[in-house]
Amino acid sequence: MSDERDVEGGAPREYCGLFGIYGHPEAVHKTYYGLYSLQHRGQESAGICSTGGGDLLAHRQMGHVGDIFTDEILASLRNPVAIGHVRYSTTGSSTIQNAQPLLFNYAAGPLAIAHNGNLVNSGHLRQEFESRGSIFQTSTDSETIMHLLAQPWDGPEDDRLVRALRQLRGAFSLLILARDRMYAIRDRHAFRPLCLGVLDGAPVAASETCALDVVGASYVRDVKPGEVVEFSAKGERSFFFPEKEETPAHCVFEHVYFARPDSRVFGENVHQVRMSLGRALAKEHPAAADIVVPIPDSGNDAALGFSHASGIPLDHGFVRNHYVGRTFIQPTQGARISGVGLKLNVIGDVVRGKRVVVVDDSIIRGTTSRGRVRLLRQAGAKEVHMRISCPPIAHPCFYGIDFPNPEELVAARMSVDEIRRHLDLDSLGYLSLDGLLSAVTNPRGHYCTACYDGRYRVPVHEKFEKLRHERKC
Ligand code: SF4
Q: How far is the CA of 455 from the centre of ligand 1 (A)?
A: 10
DSSP state of 405: -
In the prediction, which pLDDT does 4 show?
38
Q: Is the CB of 449 under 6 A from ligand 1?
A: yes
Q: Is the pLDDT of residue 148 over 70?
A: yes
Q: Which atom of ligand 1 is nearest to the CA of 447?
A: 7
Q: How far is the CA of 422 from the centre of ligand 1 (A)?
A: 25
In the prediction, which pLDDT does 472 show?
31
In the prediction, which pLDDT does 88 show?
81
In the prediction, which pLDDT does 464 show?
55
More confident residue, 9 or 322: 322
Q: Is the CB of 303 under 6 A from ligand 1?
A: no
In the prediction, which pLDDT does 97 show?
86
Confidence of residue 409 (pLDDT cuts 50, 70, 90): very high
Q: Is the pLDDT of residue 406 over 90?
A: no
Q: Which atom of ligand 1 is nearest to the CA of 254?
A: 8
* Contacts of residue 289, Cβ cutoff 8 Å, sequence gap at least 6: 312, 354, 355, 356, 357, 383, 385
The length of the chain in residues reads 473
More confident residue, 319 or 404: 319
In the prediction, which pLDDT does 259 show?
95
Q: Is the pLDDT of residue 340 over 50?
A: no
Q: How far is the CA of 253 from the centre of ligand 1 (A)?
A: 6
The Cα 352–Cα 259 span in angstroms is: 33
66-90 pLDDT tens trace: 999 999 999 999 999 999 999 986 5
pTM over 0.85: yes
In the prediction, which pLDDT does 7 show?
34
Domains parsed from the chain with CATH numbers = 7-247 (3.60.20.10), 264-453 (3.40.50.2020)
Whose CA is closest to atom 8 on ligand 1? 251
Other CB atoms within 10 Å distance of the CB of residue 325: 15
In the prediction, which pLDDT does 224 show?
98
Q: Do the Cβ atoms of 400 and 191 come closer than 8 Å?
A: yes
Q: Is the CB of 15 under 6 A from ligand 1?
A: no
Q: Do the Cβ atoms of 451 and 253 come closer than 8 Å?
A: yes
DSSP one-letter string for 99-131? -SSEEEEETTEEEEEEEES-BSSHHHHHHHHHH
48-63 pLDDT tens trace: 999 999 999 999 999 9
Q: Which atom of ligand 1 is nearest to the CA of 191?
A: 5
The Cα 91–Cα 70 span in angstroms is: 28
Q: Do the Cβ atoms of 305 and 276 come closer than 8 Å?
A: yes
* Contacts of residue 389, Cβ cutoff 8 Å, sequence gap at least 6: 256, 274, 277, 278, 281, 299, 302, 359, 360, 361, 362, 431, 436
User: Which residues are annotated as catalytic?
Assistant: 16
Q: Do the Cβ atoms of 204 and 20 come closer than 8 Å?
A: yes
Q: Which residues of 81-114 are buried (b: 16+ CB within 10 A; e: fewer)?
A: bbbbbbbbbbbbbbeeebbbbbbbeeeeebbbbb
Map 310-362 to HEC letters.
Answer: HCCCECCCEEECCCCCCHHHCCCHHHHHCCCCCCEEECHHHHCCCEEEEEECC
Q: Do the Cβ atoms of 221 and 195 come closer than 8 Å?
A: yes
The Cα 288–Cα 100 span in angstroms is: 49
Q: Is the pLDDT of residue 282 over 60?
A: yes
DSSP state of 455: -
Residue 17's nearest CA partner among 169, 195, 200, 183 is 195
Q: Is the dihedral of CA 118, 442, 296, 388 positive or negative?
A: negative
